[in-house]
Structure 1
Amino acid sequence: MDLISNLPEELLCHILSFLTTKEAALTSVLSKRWRDLIAFVPNLNIDNCDFRPSFMDFVDRVLALQGSSPLKKFYLSGMGSIDLDRVNGWIQNVMVRGVSKIDLSIFDDRESVDNNNHMCPKVFQNKKLVKLELEFGFDLSLIDGSLFLPKLKTLVLKSVYVSADKFEILLHALPALEELVLYDLDWKEYWDVTVTVSSASLKVLTIGFNSSIINYLFDTPSLVYFGYSDYAAEDYSVANMDNLFEAQISLWVRDKEIERARFPHGIWLENDEENVINRFSNVGNLMNGIRNVRCLVLSPNTLEVLSVCCESLPMFKNLNSLTIKSDNKRGWQAMPVLLRKCPHLETLVFEGLLHYVTDKCGDACDCVSREEKGRSLTSCPVKVLEIKGFQGATKEILLIKHFLDYFPCLKEMKIYMEENDPTQLIVPQVSEVIEEMMMEHYNKSSSCILQLLVSGNLYKKWT
């Protein structure tokens, strides 16, 4: 007998729990001892099924074989002609057995069927469920009766139907909720919906691609992470995010919206059917709501949008780490004001330095010649500067010199480049250029330590 077969049954079942249910069932042919092990596997992983009658019969047999044995996780993913009654029966089966994690991704591909899968009501009335993920087709607006999931900590909703009122009721039924993911939801009140995210226990909130939202209202006093990757809503109201530690804001914008934002008094403004200027201005309300954040990451689009509302930006008194992602089609117009609004900033990270140059970039960069240079930098207390995605372009080198000259508190600069990425200079040439730059800079009595890292490894260090 092989060594694996001599292992205790508990360990064998643990090994099988990492396989799909199909794969675990196939091990029954190995020996008599393996034949019934699937009955005790703590996880059911039914992946990429097509819901043909033969496969649904297989699932029925597995559930019958397992009887009432305890279950930790139930994962069901597939598409086809869904027998809702049968699927709901499977869900009821695992719920009775004390399952703590349920992950359902079901898509009915029949063209004649309205893809509103009726979720089994018992999934929202369970005292043991800790994690619930729903993707595709499920219609949460159809839920009726009492809702209560006292132990649920994680709720992930992707591409499901939902109404604003039922969503608010659902959150109130989750007193222990710590993580919430909302992605590509199909709101019943299309183009006229105000979404309220209110939870005293919520710590992690991730929102993405919910483009029909008119207004957001956030009341999340325990939130420590906020991720927003979506179009700008009409408005934002933030009642409480006082404990926020990290926020990543990535606004989705179209090129024509950027053009309108750059020229707010243009002749086409009277035809601003999408209310671009007003929406972008109200992003300031969102930024005001996250003003206590300690670590902030902004996408190129977001930085450009902030140019519309930069004068209304709050003071980020707790912010000590700021990451700016750059793109050569998006500008830095908001940079001077943003840096002045961060009085305790210690670490500044640029993911790329090349950006769209305008005369409104101010003195944060050296792209446009002006008499007064670096004024917004001289008041910034940054100690550590990281530059990622360095390509060796002349503009990048000039900008690095600009930073070295005008950040008065700078103690350390790290420049990252990838060995295999297309660059204008090879690594040794970059090293020579930086060395010349440092020689010039040290003549100005600087104490900044500069490091060149290639593919994450230290290539050279100047002290």
Structure 2
Amino acid sequence: MDHLSSLPDDLRVHVLSFLTTKEAALTSVLSKKWRNLFALIPSLDFDDSVFLHPEEGKRERHGILHSFMEFVDRVLALQGDSPIKKLSIKCKTGVSPHVVNRWICKVLDRGVSELNLCLDFEDVYYLPRELFVSSTLVKLILKNDSGGNWWIGSDGTFLPMLKCLDIDSEWILCAGKIEMLLPCFPVLEEIRMSQMEWIDSDVTVSSASLRKICISATGSRSLQNPKSVSFDTPNLLSFTYSDLVAEDYPLVNMETLFEAIIALVVSPEQIKRVRAPDNDLLGHDVVLRFGNVVKLMNGIQNVERLQLHSDTLEVLSLCGESMPVFNNLKKLLITSDKDRGWQAMPVLLRNCPHLEFLLIEGLVHHVTDKCGDACDCIYRKDKGRSLRSCPVKTINIEGFRGTMKEMNMIEHFLDYFPCLKNIKIYIEENGDTELGFDLEVWELVVGMIEEFNEMYSCNVRVLMSDNLRKKWTILGQGSVLSSLLEF
């Protein structure tokens, strides 16, 4: 007896909703009860790679892409005017953009609330104008590998229900400023824009409804550092921001912010000028105004979680003692780089009076005479001063390469962080390391860590991924490695 066929239609439609539309369509051959039942699914998922699976080269076969487009047309026709919640389309070059826009317009007429478009067209892709006046659209996700000028401009644009906007492309251009874009979405809560170029050199992101921002910008036109960037987002909770360093941040209103990731971008030439004495720089040099990044830091100082990338950390060295105090910060994540300095680390650690967790991705950094006492690269009489005032309890170190310089840094942390209880060291598994598969180096590192555990009231552990452990097992050293790491 077919128990599944005896279920009510709405339950069987719910079961089909977990399948792709192609897979759901295959159930129509089961019996008369299943015929065309898939057409009642309120969420449609069309993926040309699934449709063409599994034959290699099938995409190039004459008429096959036309068959895919006919399949989508047939499904939409079978559904008639029934309500639809979600449409997902994933297709590559060969499917006409005009056909895709026709599908979008059909579901817009039926009150679709979510559009998820993953496209790869050779030419610039424009969304249909009908989309920008939808009264039902709540979520829009667009991924276009070829880039796009996706927005037609504020004239005639109004999406009163849109809460989530996610645009991910090789590059993004808009027909107007972001100051004109956001008012068109009065209830927008989440925005993600990847590889976006600011239209103007002075930018203001303003919205009282936004809760989450994730912007990866490429500066103003021609990859120029923006003159100014402001954020007036009083209810923002999550802030991820990557951009060329602006000359100024006049307004940063984020009083409710919980977490932030800041990845400012500077060129190697600008890094040289950041490290140069002020009297070596010309008055018009944009680097002289990079110190205004402290205004951005002032605006996010209420965060509980903060991640700073290596370029950001270098630029923060220009802030000096004007760095704000992060009274709420519990978790700090630092991405380090061998070509970027730690000059800002001492004051940053001193200004986190309630820090509990510190993650450092890569201990190796560019050594300067301004690294301060956060590391032991250069001898100082006040060694460890900034660390002594930091209450961090747990440190995670990622990308460990097994060098003595790293081991000395770890011992430095053990000496001067007074509240430190746990250090977890994650071994780098990509690229060359001192560890490699050399058991002698392993024995030396593990021996030092055993000494650390005996000398300090802190639990120090070395951890590795399953993939790296499997490599050792293949080489016949898995049991030896396991015995080394049992302490």
TM-score by length of 2: 0.80
Separation (CA, whole Å) in 2 of partners of 1:419 and 1:182: 31
Q: CA deviation at 1:70?
A: 2.3
Task: Work out whether 1:315 is the aligned partner of 2:325.
Answer: yes
In 2 relative to 1, CA 232–2 (structure 1 residues): closer, same or farther, beyond 3 Å? farther
2:174 maps to 162
> Mapping of 1:59-138 within 5 angstroms?
59-80=72-93, 86-106=99-119, 108-110=121-123, 115=124, 117-121=126-130, 123-136=131-144, 137-138=148-149
Separation (CA, whole Å) in 2 of partners of 1:349 and 1:254: 25
Amino acid at match of 1:182: M
2:392 maps to 382
2:39 maps to 39
Separation (CA, whole Å) in 2 of partners of 1:98 and 1:130: 10
In 2 relative to 1, CA 170–230 (structure 1 residues): closer, same or farther, beyond 3 Å? closer
Separation (CA, whole Å) in 1 of partners of 2:207 and 2:429: 46
2:151 maps to 140
Task: Work out whether 1:184 is the aligned partner of 2:156.
Answer: no
Task: Work out whether 1:437 is the aligned partner of 2:461.
Answer: no
Which stretch of the first structure deviates more once superposed, 20-29 or 47-56?
47-56
Identity %: 51
In 2 relative to 1, CA 15–229 (structure 1 residues): closer, same or farther, beyond 3 Å? farther
Separation (CA, whole Å) in 1 of partners of 2:111 and 2:245: 41
1:448 maps to 458
Structure 2 contact 278–288 (Cα < 8 Å) conserved: no
Task: Work out whether 1:401 is the aligned partner of 2:411.
Answer: yes
Q: CA deviation at 1:208?
A: 0.9
Separation (CA, whole Å) in 2 of partners of 1:108 and 1:413: 48
SS in 2 for 1:251: strand
In 2 relative to 1, CA 405–146 (structure 1 residues): closer, same or farther, beyond 3 Å? closer
Separation (CA, whole Å) in 2 of partners of 1:143 and 1:200: 18
Instruction: Find 1:232's aligned residue among 240, 245, 259.
Output: 245
SS in 1 for 2:229: strand
Instruction: Find 1:245's aligned residue among 240, 258, 282.
Output: 258
How many residues were matched structurally? Answer: 443
In 2 relative to 1, CA 306–70 (structure 1 residues): closer, same or farther, beyond 3 Å? same
Separation (CA, whole Å) in 1 of partners of 2:387 and 2:264: 26
In 2 relative to 1, CA 157–454 (structure 1 residues): closer, same or farther, beyond 3 Å? closer
Which stretch of the first structure deviates more once superposed, 382-391 or 23-32?
23-32
SS in 2 for 1:395: helix
1:297 maps to 307
Amino acid at match of 2:363: L
| Cα deviation 1:70-118 (Å, max 9, x = unaligned) | 21211223354776665444223212323221123445435xxxx3525
Separation (CA, whole Å) in 2 of partners of 1:225 and 1:31: 50
Instruction: Find 2:381's aligned residue among 371, 374, 389.
Output: 371
Which stretch of the first structure deviates more once superposed, 427-436 or 17-26?
17-26
Q: CA deviation at 1:138?
A: 4.7
Separation (CA, whole Å) in 2 of partners of 1:289 and 1:332: 22
Structure 2 contact 231–251 (Cα < 8 Å) conserved: yes
1:287 maps to 297
Structure 1 contact 322–347 (Cα < 8 Å) conserved: yes
Separation (CA, whole Å) in 1 of partners of 2:300 and 2:433: 37
| Cα deviation 1:386-420 (Å, max 9, x = unaligned) | 22232321111111111111122323333333689
SS in 2 for 1:297: strand
In 2 relative to 1, CA 92–449 (structure 1 residues): closer, same or farther, beyond 3 Å? same
1:210 maps to 218
TM-score by length of 1: 0.84
Amino acid at match of 1:130: V
Q: CA deviation at 1:313?
A: 1.8
Amino acid at match of 1:125: V
1:153 maps to 163
Instruction: Find 1:221's aligned residue among 222, 226, 234.
Output: 234
Which stretch of the first structure deviates more once superposed, 221-230 or 73-82?
73-82
| Cα deviation 1:128-162 (Å, max 9, x = unaligned) | 32211234435313453251423x22111234431
Separation (CA, whole Å) in 2 of partners of 1:386 and 1:287: 24
SS in 2 for 1:261: helix
Structure 1 contact 411–448 (Cα < 8 Å) conserved: yes
SS in 1 for 2:395: strand
Structure 2: runs of 5 or more not aligned:
50-58, 470-481
Separation (CA, whole Å) in 2 of partners of 1:435 and 1:117: 61
2:25 maps to 25
2:361 maps to 351
1:195 maps to 203
Structure 1 contact 451–460 (Cα < 8 Å) conserved: no
Task: Work out whether 1:333 is the aligned partner of 2:321.
Answer: no
Structure 2 contact 119–143 (Cα < 8 Å) conserved: yes
Q: CA deviation at 1:423?
A: 4.4
Structure 1 contact 253–301 (Cα < 8 Å) conserved: yes
Structure 1 contact 164–193 (Cα < 8 Å) conserved: no
SS in 2 for 1:13: helix
| Cα deviation 1:150-197 (Å, max 9, x = unaligned) | 3x22111234431444x334422433322110112355x3xx343322
